[in-house]
C-alpha cells in the first residue's frame, strides 16, 4: 500500500528549493543528553532512595508503572525543560527518555503522573528532605571545617484556587512563600509555606534539625547561619548563641542605629566630598534592640556615600573579625544564593498548580531533585571547563538538548547523535567518567 506523507509549506523557499515540513520523522529525540542524567542518578542513588522511602498506596498488581520510574520520568523531564504534565502525553513515547528511566515501553501518561502526585503527604516531604540532606553529606569525601547555611524565602506566584494561597502585599500577588536553604551551591531544604507567614517562619526549627544532623556526622564542624534582615529574629539569634552556632544576619536600619553610626556616616560623606569618589566606611557597634531583652549584640555598619547619596547597611553577628572583612567576606557572599533560587525557578519550582497542598510541596521538591543532578554534573564533572560556573539553563542547552536518531531492537539500543553537535568531545569525556567501574 502506498504511504502518503502530508507536508506543509510553512516556510519560504531556500535557493529556489521548496521547504516541506511534517512531524513524521520517526524515532528522533532532541534530548539525547538525558543519558548523562541517568548515569548521575545511578551514581547518587537519588531516585532509588526516594522511591524506597516514600509509601506508595497503590496496589502493585494493578500498576504498570513503578514509583521509581515515575519519579525519574518527572525529574528528568524537569531537567530537560518540560515543566507541565501535559508534555508527557507525547514525551512518554520518547525512546531516549524511556532508556534513561530503564524502561523499554511507554512511560506513564499525564493522568497517571497526576494521580501519583495526589498521593503526596507530609511523610513524603520529610523523606525527600532527608534524602536531600543525606546527599549533601555524601558529597564530602572528608569532614568540612566550616559550613555556611544560607536561608532565604521567595515568592511563588499562583493563578488558581490552590489550598494555602494568600495575597502578599509585599509581592502584590497571590502566592506561596517557600523557604530555601543552601550551603554553597548545594540544596538542603525546599520547604513550601503559605504567603501570610513571616519570612523567618519555621526557620528556627529547620536550622535546629539541620545542625543536629550535621553535627551527628561531623561533631567538630563550625556551622554559620546566614540570612537577610527578614531572619533577624530574637529566637533565632538566641538559639544560635546557646548552641554554638555562628550567625551573620542583616538588620533593618532604624533611628537608633543611624544615630550610633553617625560618626561613620559622617566620615564617608566627608571623604566623598574631598575625592568625589564613592566611599565606604566600616565600624563595629554594640547595640540592643527592645525585643532582645537587654541583650547587647555586635552590629557591623557599612556607611556608603556616592553621587546617589548615602547607602547604609547593618548586620548583626557573633563572629570574630574586622568589620570590613565580616561584611565583604561573610555577609555579601550570600548574594550568590539569589542565583541558586533563580536556578530553582528555571527548573520550574514555581509550577505549583495542584489544588491540594502536599502535591505542590512534592512538585517543589521534584525541581529540587532535578537541581541536585544538575549541580552534581556541574561541580563534579565540569571543573576546569568553560561550563564550570554555567547556569542550569546553559547546561540544559549545551549538554542535554542533543538531537539524535534512535533505533531499538531485542539486542541493542542505538542512539546516533547529531554529527554537528558542537560539544562532542566534552560529552564523551563526561560519559566516560560516569561509566560504571
Q: pLDDT tens, 87-101?
A: 999 999 999 999 999
Q: Which of 299, 315, 346 is the last residue of a domain?
A: 346
pTM of the predicted model over 0.85: yes
Domain identity same for 208 and 309: yes
Contact call for residues 378 and 339 (beta carbons, < 8 A): no
Query: What is the overall mean pLDDT for the chain?
Result: 93
Q: Per the domain annotation, does 22 fall within a domain?
A: no
DSSP tag of 202:
T
In this predicted structure, what is the pLDDT of residue 318?
96
User: Is there a domain that residue 276 lies in?
Assistant: yes
The per-residue pLDDT for 219 is 96
Same domain, yes or no: 186 and 240: yes
The more confidently predicted of residues 197 and 4 is 197
Task: Output DSSP code: residue 198.
Answer: -
CATH number at residue 248: 3.90.350.10
In the predicted structure, residue 9 carries a pLDDT above the cut 90: no
What total number of domains does the chain contain?
Answer: 2
Q: Which of 346, 374, 403 is the last residue of a domain?
A: 346
- Domain end, chosen from 346, 377, 408, is at 346
- Arithmetic mean of pLDDT, 250-265: 93
318 found inside a domain: yes
Q: Contact, 364 vs 358, CB < 8 A?
A: no
Arithmetic mean of pLDDT, 173-189: 96
- Full domain range(s) for residue 62: 28-119+366-434
pLDDT of residue 397: 95
The model's pLDDT over 380-427, given as tens digits with 9 standing for 90+, comes to 999 999 999 999 999 999 999 999 999 999 899 999 999 999 999 999
Query: For 384, left (φ over 0), alpha (ψ -120 to 50), or beta?
Result: left
Judge if 96 and 131 occupy the same domain.
no
Interval 36-52 mean pLDDT: 96
Does residue 286 share a domain with residue 393? Answer: no
Inter-residue long-range contacts of 289-296, CB under 8 Å, 24+ positions, other chains counted: 289/234, 291/234, 292/234, 292/237, 293/234, 295/238
Q: Is residue 300 located within the same domain as residue 384?
A: no
| Whether residues 414 and 335 fall in one domain | no
Same domain assignment for residues 114 and 127: no
- Where does 140-185 show beta strands of DSSP type E? 146-153, 156-157, 166-168, 173-176, 179-183
Give residue 312's pLDDT: 93
What is the percent of the chain where pLDDT is above 70? 98
Give a yes or no: residue 1 inside a domain: no
pLDDT at 244 > cutoff 60:
yes
pLDDT at residue 117 above 90? yes
Q: Evaluate whether residue 101 is within a structural domain.
A: yes
Do residue 178 and residue 75 come from a single domain? no
If asked whether residues 64 and 201 sit together in one domain, one would say no
Report yes or no: 144 and 221 within 8 Å, Cβ to Cβ.
yes
For residues 220 and 141, state if they share a domain. yes
Q: What is the band of 22 on the pLDDT scale with cuts at 50, 70, 90?
A: confident
In this structure, are 386 and 428 located in the same domain? yes
Q: What is the number of other CB atoms lying within 10 angstroms of the CB of residue 415?
A: 17
Amino acid at each position: 500500500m502506498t504511504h502518503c506523507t502530508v507536508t506543509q509549506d510553512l516556510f519560504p523557499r531556500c535557493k529556489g528549493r521548496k521547504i516541506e515540513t511534517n512531524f513524521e520523522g520517526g524515532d528522533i529525540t532532541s534530548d539525547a543528553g538525558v543519558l548523562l542524567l541517568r548515569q548521575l542518578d545511578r551514581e547518587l542513588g537519588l531516585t532509588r532512595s526516594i522511591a524506597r522511602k516514600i509509601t506508595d498506596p497503590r496496589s502493585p498488581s494493578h500498576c504498570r508503572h513503578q514509583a521509581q520510574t515515575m519519579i525519574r520520568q518527572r525529574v528528568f523531564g524537569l531537567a530537560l525543560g518540560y515543566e507541565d504534565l501535559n508534555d508527557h502525553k507525547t514525551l512518554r513515547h520518547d525512546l531516549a527518555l524511556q532508556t534513561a528511566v530503564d524502561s523499554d515501553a511507554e512511560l506513564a501518561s499525564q493522568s497517571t503522573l497526576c494521580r501519583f502526585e495526589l498521593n503526596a503527604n507530609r511523610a513524603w516531604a520529610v523523606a525527600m528532605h532527608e534524602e536531600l540532606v543525606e546527599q549533601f553529606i555524601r558529597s564530602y569525601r572528608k569532614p568540612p571545617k566550616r559550613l555556611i547555611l544560607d536561608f532565604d524565602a521567595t515568592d511563588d506566584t499562583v493563578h488558581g484556587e490552590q489550598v494555602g494561597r494568600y495575597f502578599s502585599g509585599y509581592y502584590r500577588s497571590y502566592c506561596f512563600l517557600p523557604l530555601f536553604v543552601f550551603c554553597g551551591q548545594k540544596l538542603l531544604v525546599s520547604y513550601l509555606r503559605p504567603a501570610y507567614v513571616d519570612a523567618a517562619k519555621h526557620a528556627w526549627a529547620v536550622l535546629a534539625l539541620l545542625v543536629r544532623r550535621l553535627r551527628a556526622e561531623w561533631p567538630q564542624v563550625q556551622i554559620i547561619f546566614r540570612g537577610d534582615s527578614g531572619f533577624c529574629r530574637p529566637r533565632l539569634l538566641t538559639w544560635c548563641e546557646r548552641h554554638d552556632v555562628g550567625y551573620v544576619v542583616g538588620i533593618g536600619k532604624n533611628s537608633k542605629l543611624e544615630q550610633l553610626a553617625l560618626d561613620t556616616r559622617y566620615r564617608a560623606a566627608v571623604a566623598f566630598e574631598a575625592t568625589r569618589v564613592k566611599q565606604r566606611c566600616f565600624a563595629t557597634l554594640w547595640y540592643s534592640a527592645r525585643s532582645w531583652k537587654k541583650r547587647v549584640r555586635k552590629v557591623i555598619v557599612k556607611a556608603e556615600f556616592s553621587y546617589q547619596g548615602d547607602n547604609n547597611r547593618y548586620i548583626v553577628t557573633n563572629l570574630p573579625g574586622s568589620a570590613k572583612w565580616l561584611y565583604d567576606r561573610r555577609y555579601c557572599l550570600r548574594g550568590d544564593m539569589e542565583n541558586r533560587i533563580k536556578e530553582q525557578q528555571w527548573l520550574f519550582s514555581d509550577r505549583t498548580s495542584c489544588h491540594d497542598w502536599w502535591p505542590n510541596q512534592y512538585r517543589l521538591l521534584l525541581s529540587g531533585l532535578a537541581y541536585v543532578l544538575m549541580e552534581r554534573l556541574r561541580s563534579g564533572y565540569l571543573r576546569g571547563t568553560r561550563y564550570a560556573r554555567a547556569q542550569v539553563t546553559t547546561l540544559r542547552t549545551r549538554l542535554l538538548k542533543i538531537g539524535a536518531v534512535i533505533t531499538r531492537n531485542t539486542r541493542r539500543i542505538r542512539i546516533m547523535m547529531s554529527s554537528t553537535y558542537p560539544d562532542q568531545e566534552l560529552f564523551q569525556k563526561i560519559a566516560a567518567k560516569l561509566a560504571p567501574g
